Amino acid sequence: MARNESAGAGRILIFGGNGFMGQNIAALYPGSHPVGVDIADSPAVTRALDEIRPDIVINCAGKTGRPNIDWCEDHKIETLRSNVTGALIVLEECMKRDLYLVHFSSGCIYEGDKGGQGFTEEDPPNYLGSYYSRTKAWVDQIMRDFPVLTLRMRMPFDGSLSDRNLIMKLRKYSRVLTEPNSITHLPDFFRAMTTLIARRATGIYNIVNEGMISPFEIMTRYRERVAPSHTFEPLLLDRLGEVAKAGRSNCRLSAAKLGSVGIQMPPVHAAIDQALDALAAEMCTRAT
Ligand SMILES: NC(=O)c1ccc[n+]([C@@H]2O[C@H](COP(=O)([O-])OP(=O)(O)OC[C@H]3O[C@@H](n4cnc5c(N)ncnc54)[C@H](OP(=O)(O)O)[C@@H]3O)[C@@H](O)[C@H]2O)c1
């Protein structure tokens, strides 16, 4: 098997290689090995590690729910199996082999803004309102005790037409939440991720853009910059139960730790405008 030495990254195995993040990461590391192996199947994980012999394992396999995390409320065993059992099998097998593991966590394990400061990597998770968030919080905290790089992002967005792009999700809703949140511009996320991996960093990192923005404000800017005829109404948090089965985390995360290692995340409003302009261009191209 040809060795991948792209950007000095080493040989990379990606679990969850067929998913949204997995495909994006495989494209970032040409020559990497994205696989669809069931991470809760311990012998299959062992085989993949022994066959590919990676230096780096990136685990972005997990149940995220389709069309959204409400799915996890009705599929708790499947969610537990992938997000907890599978993640722990990958952890154990990587630690046994002394492999560098990158784990995908989520910022959706917090609620509130911590008095305007944002939650840091040291704060214990405080949001238990959905089964998805609980599974992510449990494993996030387990990873803390091992030399693993844990990446937390929130509501990722970019200028693509992907239905996993936050902006593309929001444009389908007739009512959108007015709660400000920390969110993650994917190009900035990937820049931070590749830098941390190149340094073989370990520990938890919040990877969110500077500042907060509400879904309602994103759609207001979408209407201004992309689709002037788009219509939607505000949805207050106390009415969320009318449109969603599970609760949703609304929170501010601090990216100060990332900044302290020299990785700055651009302001969120500029990042949203950049993504909206890219999206408008994509839509024009598709229409012609
Ligand atoms: N995208 C987001 O909004 C977001 C935000 C914060 C954190 N994250 C985290 O980032 C990671 C990647 O998310 P994503 O957006 O790429 O989700 P995704 O598109 O749903 O991809 C996850 C992939 O993992 C696969 N999978 C599920 N259970 C598996 C198992 N037991 N073994 C192997 N593969 C399994 C899924 O296959 P099936 O579809 O067949 O189940 C899917 O291909 C997840 O850990 C997620 O929690 C995502």
CATH number at residue 88: 3.40.50.720
Cβ–ligand 1 distance for 164 under 6 Å, the answer: yes
Q: Which ranges of the chain would DSSP assign to H, the alpha helix?
A: 20-28, 42-52, 70-74, 76-80, 87-96, 131-143, 166-170, 186-198, 215-225, 256-260, 268-287
Radius of gyration of the chain (CA): 19
- Asked if the structure places residue 1 within a domain, the reply is no
pTM of the model: 0.95
Cβ–ligand 1 distance for 38 under 6 Å, the answer: yes
The alpha carbon of 51 and the centre of ligand 1 are apart by a number of angstroms equal to: 23
pLDDT digits (tens, 9 = 90+) for 227-268: 999 999 999 888 888 888 887 889 999 999 999 999 999 999
Cβ–ligand 1 distance for 134 under 6 Å, the answer: no
The alpha carbon of 170 and the centre of ligand 1 are apart by a number of angstroms equal to: 20
The alpha carbon of 64 and the centre of ligand 1 are apart by a number of angstroms equal to: 5
Report whether the peptide linkage leading into residue 156 is cis, meaning its omega lies within 30 degrees of zero: no
Q: What CA–CA distance (Å, rounded) separates 92 from 285? A: 46
> What number is the average pLDDT over the span 63-87?
96
The alpha carbon of 81 and the centre of ligand 1 are apart by a number of angstroms equal to: 12
Specify the higher pLDDT residue, 247 or 275: 275
Q: What CA–CA distance (Å, rounded) separates 228 from 22? A: 34
Q: What CA–CA distance (Å, rounded) separates 261 from 201? A: 10
Give the atom of ligand 1 at the shortest distance from the alpha carbon of 37: 33
pLDDT for 249 equals 87
pLDDT digits (tens, 9 = 90+) for 145-196: 999 999 999 999 999 999 999 999 999 999 999 999 999 999 999 999 999 9
Number of domains the chain is built from: 1
Q: Which residues pair with 112 in a beta bridge?
A: 251
pLDDT for 8 equals 53
Query: If you write DSSP's letter for every residue of 96-129 in order, what string do you get?
Result: HTT-EEEEEEESTT--B-TTTT-B-TTSPP---S
23: containing domain: 6-287
